[in-house]
């Protein structure tokens, strides 16, 4: 019997609803594979902010550091500026626990019709490896004369040799492990951002030398956005900065059917700290409370958490069950053309486990 203490941050909006289904599925698979979950709920996010003036308590990171993993829903509220929730909760967690890898797979599953014509199951199959602790999301900058007509804001991007090399190396290792096209594409914009992005490009060239068995390519972010739509089959592992990775994975999600199918893992590969697993999508206030949010991205994030914890068989079981539900097409939420409710999809995945 394995035992895991998992911190749960449902967060805001549909995050609360989809995490419910994720836990339901993980409890069910835990029963089959001898996994005992101890879920520790933290009611942090926008409601907490409205009551306390911060999105998490001052000892929040210390509390999370005790856990074996973090399972997160979504953050964001229409009445609160997004930088407060993202910058007060997600980004400090990613940085403090050195979750420098954000893995975001995009796969076209059987039963899903891509908005791109002519693609069948498996014909889009890539992982974006997003740098998760520095780049454009580094918390470096400031204001001069805030709220005055002379107001000025400076936002600096940070690209360190260490930070670039370690994320790029992770991408190459992943390309080896996946053993598919064995190709890594670097996303850059060094034609315009001629300092930080040059550190990135040079790191890519250096690390690539250690992987002669892996093919490489380098694309400007604008060209990469175009090629994600024009020829998504040409991508295997894609490595990009914090911002570029975030942009590309929305495209990756939508060309493979729905934001509601896109999982992610914020990972400390060295396992010094807990890693965090969350759907790529946000809190979706437009559908909150209607019971129609797609929980599959969260359930698949749960599978990524299982794999990170070393529970490979259970991870595979959750993935297979989720894909069976998608392929059958009988229990799908409206984003995938169905009429089912969030909890029906969770139930269907549980039923498909056995």
Return d(Cα 273, Cα 269) in angstroms, integer: 9
Q: How far is the CB of 286 from ligand GGG (least distance, A)?
A: 14
Task: Characterize the bridge pairing of strands 263-267 and 275-279.
Answer: antiparallel
First and final C-alpha spacing in the chain: 19
For 157-201, the DSSP string reads -B--HHHHHHHHHHHHHHHHHH-SS-EEEEEE-TTT-TTHHHHHH
Beta strands (DSSP E) in 241-331 are 263-267, 275-279
The residue with its CB nearest to ligand GGG is 74
For 214-239, the DSSP string reads SEEEEEEHHHHHHHHHH-GGG-SEEE
Contact characters 282-301, ligand GGG, x per CB under 6 A? xx------------------
In whole angstroms, what separates CA 103 from the centre of its chain?
6
CA angle at residue 340 from 110 to 260, to 5 degrees? 55
Quick one: 265 or 282, whose CB is closer to ligand GGG? 282
Q: How far is the CB of 269 from ligand GGG (least distance, A)?
A: 18
User: Does residue 8 touch ligand GGG according to CB under 6 A?
Assistant: no
Among 45, 279, 302, 346, binds ligand GGG (CB under 6 A): 279
Nearest by Cα to 242 from 300, 175, 163: 163
Quick one: 200 or 244, whose CB is closer to ligand GGG? 244
Quick one: 116 or 261, whose CB is closer to ligand GGG? 261
Quick one: 86 or 158, whose CB is closer to ligand GGG? 86
**Sign of the torsion formed by the C-alpha atoms of 40, 45, 47 and 51:** positive
Judged by CB under 6 A, the stretch of 36-44, 109-117, 200-208, 273-281 that binds ligand GGG is 273-281
Quick one: 170 or 317, whose CB is closer to ligand GGG? 170
Residue 250 in contact with residue 272, Cβ under 8 Å? no
Nearest by Cα to 77 from 215, 283, 243, 248: 283
Contact characters 152-181, ligand GGG, x per CB under 6 A? ------------------------------
Quick one: 69 or 352, whose CB is closer to ligand GGG? 69
Judged by CB under 6 A, the stretch of 120-128, 205-213, 281-289, 305-313 that binds ligand GGG is 281-289
Judged by CB under 6 A, the stretch of 140-148, 172-180, 276-284, 318-326 that binds ligand GGG is 276-284
Return d(Cα 350, Cα 184) in angstroms, integer: 35
Residue 230 in contact with residue 116, Cβ under 8 Å? no
Contact characters 71-100, ligand GGG, x per CB under 6 A? ---xxx---------x--------------
Q: How far is the CB of 281 from ligand GGG (least distance, A)?
A: 6
Contact characters 37-76, ligand GGG, x per CB under 6 A? -------------------------------------xxx
Q: How far is the CB of 76 from ligand GGG (least distance, A)?
A: 6
Q: Give the 3-state secondary structure of residue 152.
A: strand
Quick one: 17 or 246, whose CB is closer to ligand GGG? 246
Active site residues: 137, 189, 222, 246, 250
Among 134, 278, 335, 347, binds ligand GGG (CB under 6 A): 278
Subset of 214-253 contacting ligand GGG (CB under 6 A) = 246
Nearest by Cα to 238 from 329, 109, 143, 105: 105
Q: How far is the CB of 75 from ligand GGG (least distance, A)?
A: 4
In whole angstroms, what separates CA 277 from the centre of its chain?
7
- Interacting residues toward ligand GGG by CB under 6 A: 74-76, 86, 246, 278-279, 281-283
């Amino acid at each position: 019997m394995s035992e895991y203490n998992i911190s749960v941050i449902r967060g805001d909006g549909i995050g609360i609803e989809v995490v419910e289904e994720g836990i339901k599925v993980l409890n069910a698979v835990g029963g089959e594979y001898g996994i005992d979950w101890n879920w520790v709920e933290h009611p942090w996010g926008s409601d907490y902010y409205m009551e306390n003036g911060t999105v998490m308590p001052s000892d929040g990171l210390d509390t999370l550091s005790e856990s074996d993993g973090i399972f997160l829903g979504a953050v964001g509220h229409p009445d609160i500026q997004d930088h407060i929730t993202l910058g007060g909760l997600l980004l400090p967690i990613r940085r403090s626990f050195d979750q420098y890898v954000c893995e975001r797979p995009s796969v076209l599953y059987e039963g899903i019709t891509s908005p791109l014509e002519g693609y069948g199951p498996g014909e889009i199959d890539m992982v974006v490896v997003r740098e998760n602790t520095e780049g454009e999301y580094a918390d470096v900058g400031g204001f001069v004369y805030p709220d005055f007509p002379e107001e000025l804001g400076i936002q600096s991007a940070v690209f360190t040799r260490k930070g670039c090399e370690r994320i790029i190396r992770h991408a190459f290792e992943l390309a080896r492990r996946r053993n598919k096209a064995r190709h890594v594409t670097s996303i850059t914009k060094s034609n315009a951002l001629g300092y930080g992005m040059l550190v990135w490009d040079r790191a890519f060239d250096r690390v690539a030398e250690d992987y002669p068995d892996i093919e490489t390519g380098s694309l400007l972010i604008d060209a990469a956005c175009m090629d994600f739509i024009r020829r998504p089959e040409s991508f295997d592992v894609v490595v990009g900065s914090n911002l570029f990775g975030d942009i590309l994975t929305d495209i990756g999600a939508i060309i493979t059917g729905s934001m509601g199918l896109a999982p992610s893992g914020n990972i400390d590969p060295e396992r010094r700290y807990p890693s965090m697993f969350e759907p790529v999508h946000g809190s979706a206030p437009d559908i909150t409370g209607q019971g129609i949010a797609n929980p599959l991205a969260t359930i698949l994030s749960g599978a990524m958490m299982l794999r990170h914890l070393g529970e490979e068989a259970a991870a595979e079981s959750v993935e297979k069950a989720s894909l069976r539900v998608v392929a059958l097409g009988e229990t799908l939420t409206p984003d995938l053309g169905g009429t089912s409710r969030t909890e029906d999809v969770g139930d269907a995945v549980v039923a498909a486990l056995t």
